[in-house]
Amino acid sequence: MKPVPIRYLRATTVDEAVTALARYGLDAKVLAGGQSLMPMLNMRLARPQVVVDINEIRDLMEIRYDPNARQLVVGALVRHQQLLESSLVHAHQPLLSAAARYIGHWAIRNRGTIGGSVVHHDPSAEWPLVTACLGAEFHVQGPQGRRVIPAADFFVTYLTTAVQAGELLTAVVIPCLGPGESWGFQEYARRHGDFALAAAAVTVTLSDGVVTAARIAVGGVADRPVVLSEVTQHVVGQAPTAQLEVQLGQWVYDAVNPLAESPDEQAYKRDIAAVLVRRAFRQAINRQPAGQ
Amino acid sequence: MAEMEAADMVVIDTVVNGRPVHRTVSARRLLSDFLRYDLQLTGTHVGCEHGVCGACTVLLDGQPVRSCLTLAAQVSGHHITTIEGVAEMPALPAATTEERVRHLHPVQQAFWEEHGLQCGYCTPGFVLTTIALLEAHPDPSDEEIRETLSGNICRCTGYRNIIRAVHRAKELWQTAPSTEGR
Ligand SMILES: Cc1cc2nc3c(=O)[nH]c(=O)nc-3n(C[C@H](O)[C@H](O)[C@H](O)COP(=O)(O)OP(=O)(O)OC[C@H]3O[C@@H](n4cnc5c(N)ncnc54)[C@H](O)[C@@H]3O)c2cc1C
Ligand code: FES
Ligand code: FES
C-alpha cells in the first residue's frame, strides 16, 4: 500500500501549476487535499509519474463575497472545514456549511478541498450535489487560457468532469441565497461520515404563500448529481401544503432512475430519494421567515 | 519564471515536535512512513493506509490530519506534532510528583484514569485529535466530542471509556488554563 515511484513538484502560483501541467501532460496529477488521490496512489489505482502539489498556492485559498453579483467566489483549495466554519458562508449561502458537515470526518475535512471534490466527482459526494443544485460556475485555467464551465456541463459521469488534462480548476463561483429564498439539505448514509447512499439539496422562494422559485437536486442516484427541473416546475405556483409534499415525493420517485443491482434496490433508492427531497423541502419551508 | 523540475528526491525542512528536521526523502514517501522509518517515531501507528481508521493521525500546523494521506515532501515548511511530542508537552501545574515523573499530558492522564485504551493501537490518533479539539473548543458538548472522534476507529474499547476520558480531559484542561499544549 505505497504509491508507485513518483516525481514531486510544488507549485506556488497558478501559473507555475499550469506550466507544470502543460509540461508533463497526461503523466501528471494535481495533488490538492489528497483525500481521494492519496488513497488511489496508495492502492495503486492511480499511477501518475508526476504529482503537482498545489497546496502552497495562496491565491486558491480564499473565500470571497461579491456583493454586486451576490456570489461567493470559493478558491479551489478551500478546505471542507473552512467552508463549514466560514462566517461569510454562514451569512450568504448556509446550504454550503450544512452540506460540509456531512463530509467524512474532521481530519478529512481539514485537508480535503472543494476543488478536489468536484474534480474527483464521486456522484454521491456533497460538493457536486450542492454546486449542481445552486448552478455554480467553475473557473478553469489551462495552456489555452481561462474558461468558465457552468454546472450543467461540468459533471460528465462517474469520476469524470469537463476539466481536461493540463487544466487547473481555480475557483468555484456559487450564487448566494436570494431574498425570500430558504434552503434544506438531507442525507442518508449507513454510518456517520460515510459517503451518502443518497442526498438531497433544495432551495425554495416563497411569495404571498406560494412557491415562486425552487431548486431541487439529488445525489447518489445516478452517474452525476441530478437536478430535477421538471419536478421543480410542478412545484412552482403552488402553496407548500402537506398535500404538495406528498405529491412531491411521488414526482421524485418517478423522476429518478437510480442504477441498482436489483429492482428491489432500485425501489429502495427511489424511496430514499423521495423521502430526502420531501424532508429537505419541509426544512426549506420551515426556514422561511414568518409571514411568507 | 524559472521552469520547475519534478524531482524523485525531495529535500524537506520541517519541524517535528518542536525540533528542526532536515532530510532528503523519496518523493513517494508517505508522511506516516517518514515519521516511522526515517525518524524512528513509531508512536504514529498505521492501520489502513487509506484514510479510514485514524490511527496515523498527526497534527499538521496544529490541525489533525491523516499522515498516511500526506506525502512527506508536502510538510516542508510546516510543523508536525506526533504522540512523542505530546509526552514532552508541559504537565499540569497541579500534577503530583508521581504524575510529573510519568510526564503525562492532561489528555494522556485522562485516558489513563478512565481506561480509555486497551491495546493502544488507536490511542495516538485519539489523543492527538482530542488535544486539537480542546485547543480549538475548550468546552465541547458530548455530541461534539462524539462527532469529532467519529473519524477514529477503536477495535477494543467500545468507545465509552474514550468518550469518558475526553470529558475528564476537558475537566483537567479547564482546571489548568496555563497548559497550552504546545
Ligand atoms: C475516510 C474518508 C471519508 C470521506 N468521506 C467523504 C464524504 O462523506 N463525502 C465526500 O464528498 N467526500 C468524502 N471523502 C473524500 C474527500 O472529500 C476528498 O477531499 C475529495 O473527494 C477530494 O478532494 P481533495 O482536495 O482531497 O483532492 P485530491 O485527492 O488531492 O484530488 C482528487 C482529484 O482531483 C484532482 N484535482 C484536485 N484539485 C484539482 C484542481 N484544483 N484542478 C484540477 N484537478 C484537481 C486531482 O488530480 C485528483 O484527480 C472522504 C475521504 C476519506 C479518506
Ligand atoms: S492508517 Fe491512516 S487513516 Fe488508517
Ligand atoms: S485500544 Fe485497541 S484499537 Fe483502540
Report yes or no: A109 and B132 within 8 Å, Cβ to Cβ: no
Contacts of B74 in chain A (CB under 8 A): 10, 31, 34, 53, 55
Contacts of B28 in chain A (CB under 8 A): 2-6, 41
Confidence tier at B129 by pLDDT (50, 70, 90): very high
Is the same domain home to A188 and A233?
A: yes
Is A11 in CB contact (< 8 Å) with chain B? yes
In a domain, A1, yes or no: no
In a domain, A20, yes or no: yes
Is the same domain home to A153 and A82?
A: yes
- Given a cut of 60, is residue B182 above it in pLDDT? no
CATH number at residue A99: 3.30.465.10
Which residues, at least 6 apart from B136, have a Cβ–Cβ distance to it below 8 Å?
none
Is the same domain home to A18 and A104?
A: no
- Given a cut of 80, is residue B179 above it in pLDDT? no
pLDDT tens string B97-111: 665 566 789 999 999
Is the same domain home to A159 and A204?
A: no
CATH class of the B92-175 domain in this structure? mainly alpha
Q: How would you list the strands of the sheet with A198-207, edge to edge?
A: A181-188, A198-207, A210-219, A226-227
Please give the distance, rounded to the nearest whole angstrom, from the Cα atom of residue B60 to the centre of ligand 2: 15
Can you say how many angstroms the Cα of residue A228 is from the centroid of all Cα atoms in its chain?
15
Do A42 and B63 lie within an 8 Å CB cutoff? no
Comparing B93 with A117, the larger pLDDT belongs to A117
| DSSP letters for chain B | -PPPPPBSEEEEEEEETTEEEEEEEETT-BHHHIIIIIS--TTS--S-SSSSS-TTEEEETTEEEEGGGSBGGGGTTSEEE-HHHHHTSPPPTT--HHHHHHT--HHHHHHHHTT--SS-SSHHHHHHHHHHHHHH-SS--HHHHHHHHTT---SSS-SHHHHHHHHHHHHHHHH-TT----
In a domain, A81, yes or no: yes
Query: Residue A199's beta-bridge partner residues?
Result: A187, A219
Do A192 and B147 lie within an 8 Å CB cutoff? yes
Is A111 in CB contact (< 8 Å) with chain B? yes
Helices (H), chain A: 14-24, 37-42, 80-85, 87-92, 94-100, 106-111, 114-120, 126-134, 151-154, 229-235, 242-255, 263-286
- Given a cut of 50, is residue B180 above it in pLDDT? no
Task: Give how far Cα A246 sits from Cα of A61, A116, A242, A278, B26, Å.
Answer: 43, 37, 6, 8, 59
How high is the pLDDT of residue A24?
95
Neighbouring C-beta atoms of residue A30, cutoff 10 Å: 22
Report yes or no: A129 and A97 within 8 Å, Cβ to Cβ: no
ipTM: 0.94
Mutation target vs A (from B12, B50, B145; most A CBs, 10 A cutoff): B50
Is the same domain home to A152 and A223?
A: no
CATH number at residue A23: 3.30.43.10
For residue A24, the enclosing domain spans: 7-53
How high is the pLDDT of residue B101?
61
Exposure string of A48-63, with b = 16+ CB inside 10 Å and e = fewer, is bbbbbbbbbbeebeeb
Contacts of A20 in chain B (CB under 8 A): 4, 6
Is the same domain home to A116 and A200?
A: no
Is A25 in CB contact (< 8 Å) with chain B? no
Exposure string of B108-125, with b = 16+ CB inside 10 Å and e = fewer, is bbbbeebebbeeebbbbb
Is the same domain home to A238 and A281?
A: yes
Window 123-162 of B, Cβ < 8 Å to A: 129, 147-148, 150-152
* CA pair distance B35, B42, nearest whole angstrom: 7
Which candidate, A166, A199, A201, A229, places its Cα nearest to that of A25? A166
Task: Name the DSSP letter for residue A203.
Answer: E
- Given a cut of 70, is residue B1 above it in pLDDT? no
Per-residue tens of pLDDT for chain A, all 292 residues: 899 999 999 999 999 999 999 999 999 999 999 999 999 999 999 999 999 999 999 999 999 999 999 999 999 999 999 999 999 999 999 999 999 999 999 999 999 999 999 999 999 999 999 999 999 999 999 999 999 999 999 999 999 999 999 999 999 999 999 999 999 999 999 888 788 999 999 999 999 999 999 999 999 999 999 999 999 999 999 999 999 999 999 999 999 999 889 999 999 999 999 999 999 999 999 999 765 5
**Which chain B residue shows the shortest CA-CA distance from A56?**
B74
* CA pair distance B72, B58, nearest whole angstrom: 12
In a domain, A71, yes or no: yes
- Given a cut of 80, is residue B88 above it in pLDDT? no
Of A153, A175, A197, the residue that ends a domain is: A175
Report yes or no: A127 and A99 within 8 Å, Cβ to Cβ: yes
Neighbouring C-beta atoms of residue A19, cutoff 10 Å: 17
Is A190 in CB contact (< 8 Å) with chain B? no
| DSSP letters for B135-179 | HH-SS--HHHHHHHHTT---SSS-SHHHHHHHHHHHHHHHH-TT-
Of A133, A158, A175, the residue that ends a domain is: A175
B152 lines ligand 3 (CB under 6 A): no
| pTM of the full structure | 0.95
The SS3 call for residue A117 is: helix
How high is the pLDDT of residue B177?
46
In the block, which residue shows the cell 423521502?
A: A275
Is the same domain home to A119 and A102?
A: yes
Report yes or no: B49 and B118 within 8 Å, Cβ to Cβ: no
Given the candidates 3.40.30.10, 3.40.50.300, 3.10.20.30, 3.30.410.10, the CATH classification of the domain at B9-85 is 3.10.20.30
Pairing, β B79-81 against β B57-60: antiparallel
Is the same domain home to A74 and A119?
A: yes
Residues in chain A: 292
* Structural domain count of chain A: 3
- List the domain boundaries for chain B: 9-85, 92-175
Residues in chain B: 182
